[in-house]
Amino acid sequence: MSRKPVIAGNWKMHNLQQEAIDLTNGIMQELKSEDKALLPEVIIAPTFTSLYAANKALKDCGCGKVRLAAQNCYYETKGAFTGECSVEMLKDTGCEYIIIGHSERRQYFGETDEMVNKKAKSILNNGLVPIICCGESLEQREAGITDYHIASQITKALRDLTKEEVSKSIIAYEPIWAIGTGKTCDSVEANRVIAMIRNVVKGLYDTDTANSIRILYGGSVKPATIKEQMAQSDIDGALVGGASLTADSFAQIVKGAICNSCV
């Protein structure tokens, strides 16, 4: 079964509005001569304040090769939740995807598995796609509990979702020790964990759902690593942090994920 690859750029807390416009335009320029049908699903996730500007740049270009994501959301629809953004608000700004459960949100902002689950439900109810992050710390890896930890994160994140909803969702496996460190997880090991995640989905749902859900690798992905990562059986793409902040390196990663057998 062929799954369409996904390359998502997580800009984190970078880029003022004009910088976001320039980067968005730069990425589209780099991808200009590429056949849209062969490209992976290309996603950029600017910070909240740059979403409008980036969306405008995408619309002005009109090439439809790049889509918009937010880096976070709140699960309530509206109300007295100072500082938060609902899924509907993000959809209104042009977002089609929302990253949830990123390790930085879990570590610095107390995001729990239960919150990730509520956010996933709200995102899917609004017709958007959640990009659900999971990953182990170095301590957990050294203690030999990587698989147990990830299986638990995924099981809790997907609680009460239907198989149709799960089939549409995206998971990103991001070992915390590989994020922003330059230490990419070995591709074979990343593929092993991702295949394990797929097996967890199979256990919770069925083979079709497990074969439909796209599962990305994230953690120091670079132009030099993407081809080997994409050559693995279960890695469907990448969630890219640092290397998504320049048009050239992000576009190289996108081009490294062009899939000739996925059209």
Binding site for ligand PGA (CB under 6 A): 10, 174, 179-180, 218-221, 239-243
CB count in 10 Å sphere of residue 16? 12
Residue nearest to ligand PGA (CB): 241
Residue 177 Cβ vs ligand PGA, minimum distance, rounded to whole Å: 10
Residues facing 67 on adjacent strands: 43
Residues with active-site annotation: 102, 174
Residues facing 10 on adjacent strands: 45
- C-alpha 163/C-alpha 201 separation (Å) is 9
Residue 164 Cβ vs ligand PGA, minimum distance, rounded to whole Å: 27
* Residue whose CB is less far from ligand PGA, 10 or 55: 10
Contact between 110 and 150 (Cβ < 8 Å): no
- C-alpha 237/C-alpha 244 separation (Å) is 14
Residue 76 Cβ vs ligand PGA, minimum distance, rounded to whole Å: 25
Residue 35 Cβ vs ligand PGA, minimum distance, rounded to whole Å: 26
* Residue whose CB is less far from ligand PGA, 14 or 159: 14
Q: What stretches of the chain show up as alpha helix (H) in DSSP?
A: 17-30, 48-61, 87-92, 103-109, 113-125, 138-142, 146-157, 163-168, 187-204, 207-212, 223-230, 247-256
* Residue whose CB is less far from ligand PGA, 179 or 197: 179
- C-alpha 86/C-alpha 110 separation (Å) is 18
* Residue whose CB is less far from ligand PGA, 53 or 226: 226
Of 31, 49, 48, 30, residue with least CA distance to 40: 31
* Residue whose CB is less far from ligand PGA, 101 or 218: 218
Residue 183, by phi and psi: left (phi above 0), alpha (psi -120 to 50) or beta?
A: beta
Residue 51 Cβ vs ligand PGA, minimum distance, rounded to whole Å: 17
* Residue whose CB is less far from ligand PGA, 102 or 121: 102
Tokens of 191: 């593929």
Residues 6+ apart with CB under 8 A from 206: 163
Residue 226 Cβ vs ligand PGA, minimum distance, rounded to whole Å: 11
Structure letter (DSSP) for residue 184: P
